[in-house]
Amino acid sequence: MPQPAFHGPLPAVGTVAPALRYVNSDRQEKSLADHKGEVVVLTAFPSVDTKVCAMQTRAFNKKAAETGARVLTISMDLPFALGRFCAAEGIANVEAGSDFRHRDAALVWGAGISEGPMEGVLGRITWVIDREGVVRYLEVAPELGAEPDYEAALAAAKKLL
């Protein structure tokens, strides 16, 4: 399935990352600003209850420990589903966030799918944000069902550490 149309535009490389509020798997209000001073690998995807999204979360969890960067995943999944998945899978190196309440990832970041059968969820997009909050890497998966380029994203993060 090709990558669908997004609300867009997506924050581009070299731009300051916009505000991003989310609810974590413990149902706490969080924001990207909470991670100021950290290198953040931010990944958006449709739902942790799909095969590729689950694989993506597991892969970033495994690889995140090697980088020292903060890995944050955002989806429209409810915090309960994210918490259940992370607990069952032993996800400890990735912070899972839900965009269901504020829709900042969907609308402010432009990552929401705007048409078709997946309308309303987030696309498969990866950003790397430096310690000052500037976007330094952007990848939109070529197809919604394709995994992101983990090595490229983590290499971009490592350069900033």
Classify domain 21-160 at the CATH topology level.
Glutaredoxin (3.40.30)
What average pLDDT score do residues 120-147 get?
A: 96
CB 72 within 8 A of CB 43: yes
* Count of other CB atoms within 10 angstroms of residue 123: 25
Among all residues, which ones are annotated catalytic? 53
CA-to-CA distance for 121 and 101, rounded, in angstroms?
13
Q: What percentage of the chain has pLDDT greater than the value 70? A: 98
pLDDT of residue 4: 78
What average pLDDT score do residues 94-120 get?
A: 96
pLDDT of residue 27: 94
Cα–Cα distance list, 66 to 2, 116, 120, 132, 137 (Å): 31, 37, 33, 22, 18
pLDDT of residue 67: 85
54-70 pLDDT per residue, tens: 999 999 999 887 888 99
CA-to-CA distance for 127 and 103, rounded, in angstroms?
17
Confidence check: pLDDT of 1 > 80: no
What average pLDDT score do residues 77-92 get?
A: 96
